[in-house]
Amino acid sequence: MTDAEIKSLVLRELQKIAPEAVLNGLDGATDLREQIDLDSMDILNLAIAIHETTGVDIPEADYPRMVTLDGAVAYLRARLATS
């Protein structure tokens, strides 16, 4: 998958988790919890949704790497490359 495809996947899953959130113009380096008012359960749900979509296991210890859009893309790129 390309970075653009991974970003699209993450944004699509985020929209399902937080349908009221405006995802256009997100700062990729800023914590998603601050930008679109996510809580820790939302991050867990994001990890589960990504796992269900891609088959990539995301251990709880790696959740902090998923709290920014850029971080999620980089993390998934690396994990998808090894699977």
* CA distance readout (Å), 17 to 4, 29, 31, 38, 62: 20, 20, 16, 9, 19
Tens-binned pLDDT, residue by residue, of the chain (83 aa): 899 999 999 999 999 999 999 999 999 999 999 999 998 899 899 999 999 999 999 999 999 999 999 999 999 999 999 87
Query: Which residues in 1-83 belong to E strands, given as ranges?
Result: none
Q: Which residues fall within 8 angstroms of residue 8, CB to CB, at 6 or more apart? A: none
Residue 58 pLDDT: 95
Residue ranges and CATH numbers for the domains of the chain are 3-19+26-81 (1.10.1200.10)
Residue 70 pLDDT: 97
**3-class state of residue 11 by DSSP:** helix
Residue 2 pLDDT: 95
What is the C-alpha separation between 57 and 15, in angstroms, rounded? 21
pTM of the model: 0.91
